[in-house]
Structure 1
């Protein structure tokens, strides 16, 4: 999968900001804010991850504890936040992160496992979020997707992540009626899709650049494109198991709602 091109940043905490490749390269996270220390594995309260994520000012969030944070509800992340798990081992379970109408988010070195409930994703990016970088995270076993990017969210990079033990891995563009998703731009690179069943990714509308990823032993297909999607697949490895279809194309038509205006005189 290659060595880290930004290994030098490990000597300077905030040097990580601005080192993303691809469409999410402008994400700065909490670069211009103070450090926030997570000292509690509780779902909420003083020193919790949730307390830091809800604050409105820029924050660079780091952890003084390792362990599992069992989320009782989606963890909403406000703009200009870095959630930096380097140096600890932090797992989020129960629910996932929700990036809603926010910008400049970096999420690094977290584990996501065991999310339960209808429409529960590991990382849900919608609506209208931008400048997002998800880096060096591992994701598995959620009831819906591992990463979903929909509803006009754009300029996003997912890099060096590990996906395993899951069905619907990554959805980009949720519905053929969401024509506004034509703005979506996502880069996915140096990721390992290890036996996940489908959606590596599944794309509607938008543009996706895939490079230097390793996908093996999928259950239906590796990559799927449909309505108005553009995928540039470059230098990826696809190692089939029992299912041999690597690229799938689903025929879908743009669904545009038509309103009839009745004028009464």
Structure 2
């Protein structure tokens, strides 16, 4: 049977910190802060999630209650925060999280569903945010994206998340005028994209490492590379429904270039099922493509297989797991 990485992070509360794989591996969240207990499902006020997220000090935020938090506006998260949903079942609806000009954020084991309004994303990461880890979250049915990463935000890992019931799933890189997005680096691994229509992800300018994800029954394409982007697709499972095109290439012109270009996708060890067509670029030069080992020394990966497909359907998204015990001696507050 296939296994998933970092299985030991649930032995103690803060063992999660710094254990991401990939570009977001340095995210420590609220490691050096005190515990903040969410005791109210209210949108704001004492004991609310919003009150904890706006505090300027490092915090490890945990929940004493389960239920739905109806957000009337984006919930802004300040730097050095862990939002840790283990031990409860908490759903955010109405709006989503906004990670704006912040660093060292960990978001774990939450549900996002039913975000309404123009430009409303489940998790919006922009601008100039870095060292972000989104882990074991379930996201569906927002009016814009489920996760958007734009405006020079970088060093981000998305892992073991479940995406469903959505159109424009994940946009990385705002538009061809934002040439600063060349700095973007994102790792997406062990995620399950279940019938989402497109953008798993769509990338402009930056670098994305995809490994051991399962994407099935997309509506337009699975993965899209546009202007100057580089996507390293490694040991993923792509299972087509009615639409067979796995990889798409959109040609766009960067604001500081004369020639319009698409991006590049390198597929290595991917498994294509039910007639999924890789549609690789002709004339592709491997010299244009980064390799993950240039940026991090190791990652937990296995061959794409039926057993991996099975376990990704079970162990992605929100999980019914106990909140680990706090080990006071591990952290100086």
Q: Give the TM-score range, shorter chain.
A: over 0.9
Go from structure 1 to structure 2 and tell me whether the alpha carbon gap of 1:149 and 1:115 turns closer, same or farther (over 3 Å shift).
same
Cα separation, 2, equivalents of 1:74 and 1:203: 24
SS at match of 2:31: coil
Q: Give, in angstroms, the shift of residue 9 of structure 1.
A: 2.2
Q: Runs in 1 of length 4+ with deviation above 6 angstroms?
A: none
Three-state SS of the structure 1 residue aligned to 2:181 is: helix
CA distance, structure 2, for counterparts of residue 141 and residue 40 of structure 1: 24
Structure 1 stretches lacking a partner, 5+ long: 258-265
Q: Which runs of 5+ in 2 are unaligned?
A: 258-333
Which TM-score applies when normalising by structure 2? 0.76
The alignment status of 1:194 with 2:194, answered yes or no, reads yes
Q: How far apart are the structure 2 equivalents of 1:174 and 1:141?
A: 21
Shift of 1:255: 1.9
Partner Cα separation in structure 2 for residue 225 and residue 206 of structure 1: 10
Q: Distance in 2 between matches of 1:9 and 1:191?
A: 18
Instruction: Compute the RMSD of aligned alpha carbons.
Output: 1.3
| Aligned 8 A contact 2:4 2:190 in 1 | no
1:105 maps to what in 2?
Answer: 105
Q: How does 1:114-129 map to 2 (within 5 A)?
A: 114-129=114-129
Distance 1:54 1:4 in 2: 33
Rounded to whole Å, the distance in 1 between the matches of 2:123 and 2:5 is: 25
Give how far 1:2 is off: 4.3
How far apart, CA to CA, are the structure 2 residues paired with 1:157 and 1:235?
A: 17
Q: Tell me, what secondary structure is at the counterpart of 1:52?
A: helix
* SS across alignment from 2:33: coil
User: Does 2:239 correspond to 1:228?
Assistant: no
Report if aligned partners of 2:199, 2:221 keep a CA contact under 8 Å in 1.
Answer: yes
> What secondary structure, in the 3-state scheme, does the structure 2 residue paired with 1:181 have?
helix
Distance 1:150 1:115, change over 3 A: same
2:135 aligns to what?
135
Taking structure 1 as the reference length, the TM-score comes to 0.96
What does residue 262 of structure 1 align with? none
Q: Which secondary structure state, in structure 2, belongs to the residue aligned with residue 14 of structure 1?
A: helix
